[in-house]
Structure 1
Amino acid sequence: MFGIGEPAGRIALATGLLTAATVTIGGIAASQASAAGCYDSKKFFEKKSGTTLVPQGISWFRTTSNCRDINVQSAMWMETGANVTVCFRRSGCQDRWTWIPAGGKGWKVVASNVKDGTDYRFEFASTAGWQGYRAE
């Protein structure tokens, strides 16, 4: 058998290292691609001043297969952040709030591992008007 110092051994070692590096890099690329695909399907929404629920009335948002979570990001022109919780049609509102920073500074997960086709809406802690994006 060839030792590591011999040409065939060096080729086998290099091939093994290259394969391991490719798997690791491929795994990172796949998860980033999945997140990017989720956010690529973002939808704009607006909360009118004087209200706390979006959407209002009998309307609900519905989760899709684009994302596993419900994500929120403020519009980049927003100068104030917001505390948001998610209310589900069947089970009511969550008991935790998530701070969404102003200025479109990144996505925040407001509900995790939500089934596709789930109806939901956002409840805001403030009645101030607010605009942002959702990805679900």
Structure 2
Amino acid sequence: MRKTLKQLQGESDYWRIKFINEQQRAEAAEAKLAERDRQDESRWNTHDGIARPIGLNKDDLVYLRMKRQEMKLPYPAGMINWKHDGSEFDVLAWASVNAPIRPAPAVSLAPVSNCLSFFASVIKSGESWSETCQRDLDAARETLRNI
């Protein structure tokens, strides 16, 4: 059965609107992740490299940011070399475990972005919507739901 020009235009409008809605959801998710990162940054205290911070007891658990990496597991403050000696293990910042709970690692939005770019190219080229397109769209939606 051949489709009329009006039917094809209607399908094109449907997929264009669907793409715009998914793009808006992806942008909202990126804004949510940026806000979460900003809140996470506010709990970190810079370290001067002289001694254990005042008010921090030896038994207090702290997360550390060192020159080399951020430590994902907390350490007792009394077990840490707080004095800078020029090594890659110098403490640059610390956060108390008693501070607000750290958010879960951010989900990468790159697959969603790639998927939306692909959908845009399909819509612009006038290609038909395939099962592969629908599967990719469903996977992108699932990623957005898990954020």
TM-score of the pair, normalised by structure 1:
0.43
Q: Which has the higher contact order (CA 8 A, sep 6+)?
A: 1
TM-score of the pair, normalised by structure 2:
0.41
Which of the two has greater strand per residue? 1
Structure with the greater alpha carbon radius of gyration: 2
Which of the two has greater helix per residue? 2
